[in-house]
Structure 1
Amino acid sequence: MTGEALVLASRWANAANRRREGLRAAHQQNAEVLTDLLHTYLRLKSSKGGRISALTLSHYAESLRKFLAFTGPPEAPQHALNQLEPEVFEVWLLELQAQGLSASSVKRHLYGVRNLMRALVWAGVLDRDPSASVRPPAEAQAAHTRKSALSADTFRALLALPPAAHPADPTRAARDRLLLLLGGSLGLRAAELVGLNLDDVELTLGQLTVRGKGRRTRQVPLTRSVVAALQSWLRLRSAVAASEALLVSLSHRNVGGRLSTKGARDIAEGYYRALGLPSEVWGLHTLRRTAGTQLYRATRDLHVVADVLGHASVTTSAMYAKMDRSIRLEALEAAEALE
């Protein structure tokens, strides 16, 4: 049975079922059933439909659980889901900020719960979305000042660490260096990195098939350094894995299995830490920002950046033109030379 058929055969198949099951789940504050309703609504009614990513669904489920924890225990909630007012969401957002969450994280949680409210309207549990008028907190700083990329020299130093850190384990060194290159040179997202399969690598054509956000697929050319890293890893990989995944775990509990997103983050974090980098840059997305910044610096073409990184719009790519301070310094010096 297909995914769509499963949805249509579910408890949300018709209006009467949706209202009955939705009312029960809302009254009981049942996180599992409400998550099922939210996911069904997103797959059927959101603009992305069946293309919505598993990561987005997971994030929204996390937001739902956080909100239910805030509203109180199911047996005696402080805020019943069918009696919510905008002020309840505003207080929740303030509490999330007090916990130290960034404005972008708070915004993501609001959007997750807002989609739950819309799902409850769709199910006939609510007449309107009580969160519709609630605004997320604004960022205190522009995106390019909040997020950082590695300089070219720092990235080269990072790439030198795996062989130095694992002289007796060339397999681990080769895998780790390839991971850093795929992120910092080709600009792959975390989910794209761990989602790569052996069949996605086309060394003869010199390209990589990448499945990005919204299930959009793009072909990314391979640089000479990435080709060399791939060849080195593929020679060693066959001894530890027989799965279809390109990047595999080398931990004792999951040797040869697909590397998880957390595993990839932990690997990168270890090298960031060894290089003495501050914890603010330890995420895998720092590698992607590094690739975007260096690509823009080399080309000064936002369309090329958008194409390689898989951005739907060059507006997103424009951030990379602002992140590298050396780009702005070069522009200022060039302008000064005109005087």
Structure 2
Amino acid sequence: MNIQHELEDFLDYLATARRLSPHTLSAYRNDLANFVVFCEQQNLASVDAADSAHIRHFIGQRRSASAAAVSIQRLLSALRSLYRYRMRHRGAIHNPALGISAPKRPQRLPKTLDVDMIKQLLEFEGDEPIDIRDRAMMELFYSSGLRLAELADLNVSDLDLNDALVTVTGKGNKTRTLPIGRIAITALRRWLTSRDSLAPDQALFLGQRGKRLGHRAIQQRLRFRATQQGLPAHVHPHMLRHSFASHLLESSSDLRGVQELLGHANLSTTQVYTHLDFQHLAQVYDKAHPRATRKVNNEQD
């Protein structure tokens, strides 16, 4: 099996067994295609012929090409996953990507909408089926903190409105059951009544042709509603997820609980929202404290 076939074999495994998102698969494909070119340039007969020195050389090349820290981290993750797969399924004996650290990426806080902006976004007028559908989608995004792929993949059978629950399949093919808020339940009940006249498709959210709404269509509808409601910021599905997490953490301070609801494997991923909470408190301090806004550089010794 040549190097290119090895790569395709691994990507097929990621798509079928691990059910990675199309976005992640596309990124891994690009990263590993670059690695294949590198292996061929180094006259390596297979990816198993690469050692740690080769991996460091490859990473060095990517950094010299001005690859961002986050891209290097993803690249190393793809390589580690490739070699883990080959050790488990193809008899490889080592993982040369282990122990190689990526540069730290600067922490960028996720953008959120405050409670008033969420209210402004969600309370748009209209009682046509498309209005009812958009309202149900957006209420569910914010009510349960779903990822875009999780919402797009929902079927009607994933809802249990009597018990106010929705079951989603997230990253790594992991399933979790989440609560749905009262307002979202009302919006979903209205949508299900309208939806039943469109098509027998099992998808929860359908387009006007009766087919499951794709990721891009959902993003476009959210952008349209944000513009319609006069919101200045570019609003996207993950912004509603970030707002869900931030608002919940501000009210409860239960980091572990928010981690479970978001489906984060590591608590460190959820901890970014504690920075958002502190940022909010700092803004309150700056507005309220009588000496918070003094000009320090005007002070004398």
TM-score bucket of the superposed structures, by smaller chain: 0.7 to 0.9
Letter of the structure 2 residue corresponding to residue 302 of structure 1: L
Find the partner of 2:212 among 235, 239, 258: 258
Find the partner of 2:80 among 104, 111, 114: 114
Structure 1 partner of 2:114: 151
Counterpart mapping for 1:170-319 below 5 A? 170-250=128-208, 255-272=209-226, 275-279=230-234, 282-312=235-265, 314-319=267-272
Q: CA deviation at 1:288?
A: 0.8
The CA deviation string for residues 9-36 of structure 1, in whole angstroms up to 9 with x for no partner, is: xxxxxxxxxxxxxxx221xx34xx5222
- Answer yes or no: is the 8 Å Cα contact 2:143–2:180 preserved in 1: no
Q: CA deviation at 1:158?
A: 1.7
Find the partner of 2:101 among 131, 135, 138: 135
Q: CA deviation at 1:92?
A: 4.5
- Answer yes or no: is the 8 Å Cα contact 2:133–2:191 preserved in 1: yes
Indicate the SS of the match to 2:176. Answer: strand
Letter of the structure 2 residue corresponding to residue 37 of structure 1: F
Structure 1 residues 205 and 246, CA gap change in structure 2 (3 angstroms): same
Query: Among the aligned pairs, what percent are the same residue?
Result: 27
Structure 1 residues 64 and 216, CA gap change in structure 2 (3 angstroms): closer
- Answer yes or no: is the 8 Å Cα contact 1:292–1:309 preserved in 2: yes
Alignment of 1:37 with 2:10, yes or no, is yes
Letter of the structure 2 residue corresponding to residue 149 of structure 1: T
Q: CA deviation at 1:269?
A: 3.3
Q: CA deviation at 1:173?
A: 1.4
Counterpart mapping for 1:15-34 below 5 A? 24-26=1-3, 29-30=4-5, 33-34=6-7
Indicate the SS of the match to 2:145. Answer: coil
Q: CA deviation at 1:80?
A: 4.1
Alignment of 1:89 with 2:58, yes or no, is yes
Gapped runs of 5+ residues in structure 1? 1-23, 44-48
Matches of 2:217 and 2:273 in 1, distance apart? 27
Letter of the structure 2 residue corresponding to residue 320 of structure 1: Y
Indicate the SS of the match to 1:138. Answer: coil
Indicate the SS of the match to 2:256. Answer: helix
- Answer yes or no: is the 8 Å Cα contact 1:97–1:103 preserved in 2: no
Letter of the structure 1 residue corresponding to residue 211 of structure 2: G
- Answer yes or no: is the 8 Å Cα contact 1:184–1:288 preserved in 2: yes
Structure 2 partner of 1:59: 24
Structure 1 residues 146 and 320, CA gap change in structure 2 (3 angstroms): closer
Kindly tell me the number of residue pairs found equivalent between the two proteins. 282
Q: CA deviation at 1:261?
A: 2.5
Structure 1 residues 320 and 87, CA gap change in structure 2 (3 angstroms): closer
- Answer yes or no: is the 8 Å Cα contact 1:67–1:92 preserved in 2: no
Q: TM-score, normalising length from structure 1?
A: 0.69
Matches of 2:32 and 2:174 in 1, distance apart? 31
Find the partner of 2:33 among 68, 82, 86: 68
Matches of 1:289 and 1:305 in 2, distance apart? 11
Matches of 1:301 and 1:335 in 2, distance apart? 27
Matches of 1:114 and 1:233 in 2, distance apart? 44
Q: CA deviation at 1:151?
A: 1.0
Indicate the SS of the match to 1:54. Answer: coil
Matches of 1:227 and 1:171 in 2, distance apart? 16
Alignment of 1:160 with 2:102, yes or no, is no
Indicate the SS of the match to 1:209. Answer: strand
Structure 2 partner of 1:323: 276
Indicate the SS of the match to 1:240. Answer: coil
Structure 2 partner of 1:78: 41
Structure 1 residues 217 and 70, CA gap change in structure 2 (3 angstroms): closer
Structure 1 residues 61 and 206, CA gap change in structure 2 (3 angstroms): closer
